[in-house]
């Protein structure tokens, strides 16, 4: 009987330890692209804070309004209590016994990414942050991409009903609030009507298609001409005779080479507009070199959301794009 009572008491202790994350994982909280920085107020108001703000505050390419890559807030270490510890993205930075940099997942909540940066003195902390800043930003963005994709999986569209997706032999996770605009078997256009705030008159859009692979070296320089030809063929304005989507002529898109699910690809961010009309917005284009199938596989997302910030909309399109895999 004594053993039974002891075991029962132990079980009660285990199930009631909500403060011990080894036993209970709380749900994390926090907006997309938002990071909480845990550091002393003196550091935050000094050179270290300036370095963090300048790094995370770099403007996202291709947006019509200036928006930072990541938004940040600060809390002192003694204020990093139970409520703060459930933040999804956390940077803990300051003085320690030695130089150290590491990343941990799901420490106090789930999903959660915490980046730790330490050095022996203030100058060393700044150097450690600068040394790893690209890795730090990439970790937080990847964490939010994964979280967003997991949310979309819970309300995923049935891919089997799209001729183009089936013909191209790809899989991807698209939430079920996207509706079909066009599905020719060679070109897919899906649209999500935005329902919040001023943006309720706008939309998020997805385009998926492929073109023949002719000269791999010329892929990046041909991205604009390819998307303009697709716009002329498939994406008309209010007057199809004189209006169609083009790459905004006054803004040069930014293209970078990346690895996309193991394949060479090019990410292009820029602005689109409708020729002879006043509609415009940002776009995100992934042109993937698929040598096995002798083609360039293209995923493009573009947003029309006048008078509102668009970072969150573009981030959702990026998460959808990065879920795409060739079967």
State the pLDDT at residue 146.
95
Q: Residue 7 has what pLDDT?
A: 42
Q: Is residue 320 scored above 70 in pLDDT?
A: yes
Tally of CB atoms within 10 A around 281: 25
Q: Any residues with CB less than 8 A from the CB of 93 and at least 6 apart, and which? A: 37, 38, 39, 43, 48, 52, 116, 117, 118, 125, 129
> What DSSP element (H or E) covers 27?
strand 26-27
Categorize the per-residue pLDDT at 21 as very low, low, confident or very high, splitting at 50, 70 and 90. very low
**Amino acid 240: pLDDT:** 80
pLDDT at 2 over 50: no
CA distance 44 to 53: 9
**Residue 42: pLDDT above 80?**
yes
Q: Which pLDDT score is estimated for 25? A: 80
Q: pTM here?
A: 0.89
pLDDT at 199: 60
Confidence check: pLDDT of 98 > 50: yes
Mean local confidence (pLDDT), 36-48? 96
Work out the average pLDDT over 28-44. Answer: 95
Residue-level pLDDT at 16: 40
pLDDT tens digit sequence for 262-318: 999 999 999 999 998 888 999 999 999 999 999 999 999 999 998 889 999 999 999
Fold of 14-153: Chitobiase; domain 2 (3.30.379)
Distances, alpha carbon 152 to alpha carbons 69, 97, 106, 161, 199, in Å: 22, 42, 20, 18, 20
- pLDDT attached to residue 196: 63
Q: What is the mean pLDDT of residues 69-91?
A: 95
Residues 216-273: pLDDT tens digits?
A: 999 999 999 999 999 999 999 888 878 899 999 888 999 999 999 999 999 999 999 9
pLDDT tens for 58-69 read 999 999 889 999
Instruction: Indicate whether 3 pLDDT > 70.
Output: no
d(CA 82, CA 249): 51
pLDDT at 11: 40
Query: Which helix (H) or strand (E) is 207 found in, with range?
Result: strand 203-212
Q: Which residues contact 218 (CB under 8 A, 6 or more apart)?
A: none
Query: What average pLDDT is seen over the chain?
Result: 90
Domain ranges of the chain: 14-153, 159-326
Q: Rounded distance, CA 111 to CA 90, Å?
A: 12
Would you state the pLDDT for residue 198?
Answer: 59
CATH class label, 159-326:
alpha beta
pLDDT score recorded for residue 241: 79
**pLDDT tens digits, residue range 188-202?**
999 999 876 556 678
For residue 284, the model assigns a pLDDT of 97
Mean pLDDT, range 157-177, rounded to an integer: 94
pLDDT of 186 above 60: yes
The structure tokens listed for 122 are 């203030």
């Amino acid at each position: 009987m004594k053993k039974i009572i002891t075991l029962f008491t132990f079980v009660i202790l285990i199930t009631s330890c909500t403060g011990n994350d080894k036993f209970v994982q709380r749900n994390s909280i926090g907006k997309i692209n938002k990071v909480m920085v845990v550091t002393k107020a003196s550091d935050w108001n000094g050179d270290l804070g300036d370095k963090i703000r300048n790094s995370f505050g770099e403007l996202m390419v291709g947006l019509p309004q200036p928006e930072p890559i990541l938004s940040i807030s600060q809390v002192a270490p003694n204020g990093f209590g139970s409520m703060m510890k459930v933040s999804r993205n956390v940077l803990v930075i300051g003085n320690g016994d030695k130089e150290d940099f590491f990343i941990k997942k799901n420490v106090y909540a789930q999903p959660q990414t915490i980046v730790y940066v330490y050095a022996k003195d203030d100058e060393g902390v700044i150097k450690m942050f600068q040394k790893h800043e690209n890795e730090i930003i990439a970790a937080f963005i990847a964490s939010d991409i994964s979280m967003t994709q997991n949310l979309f999986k819970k309300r995923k569209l049935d891919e089997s009903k799209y001729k183009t997706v089936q013909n191209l032999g790809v899989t991807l996770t698209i939430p079920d609030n996207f509706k079909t605009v066009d599905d020719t078997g060679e070109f897919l256009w899906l649209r999500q009507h935005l329902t919040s705030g001023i943006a309720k008159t706008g939309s998020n859009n997805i385009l998926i298609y492929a073109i023949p692979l002719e000269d791999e070296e010329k892929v990046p320089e041909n991205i604009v001409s390819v998307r303009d030809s697709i716009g002329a063929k498939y994406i008309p304005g209010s007057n199809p005779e004189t209006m169609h989507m083009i790459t905004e002529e006054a803004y040069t898109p930014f293209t970078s080479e990346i690895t996309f699910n193991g394949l060479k690809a090019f990410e292009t961010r820029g602005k689109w507009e409708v020729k002879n009309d006043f509609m415009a917005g940002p776009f995100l284009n992934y042109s993937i070199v698929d040598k096995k199938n002798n083609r360039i596989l293209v995923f493009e997302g573009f947003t029309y959301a006048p008078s509102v910030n668009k970072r969150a909309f573009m981030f959702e399109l990026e998460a959808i794009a990065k879920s795409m895999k060739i079967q």
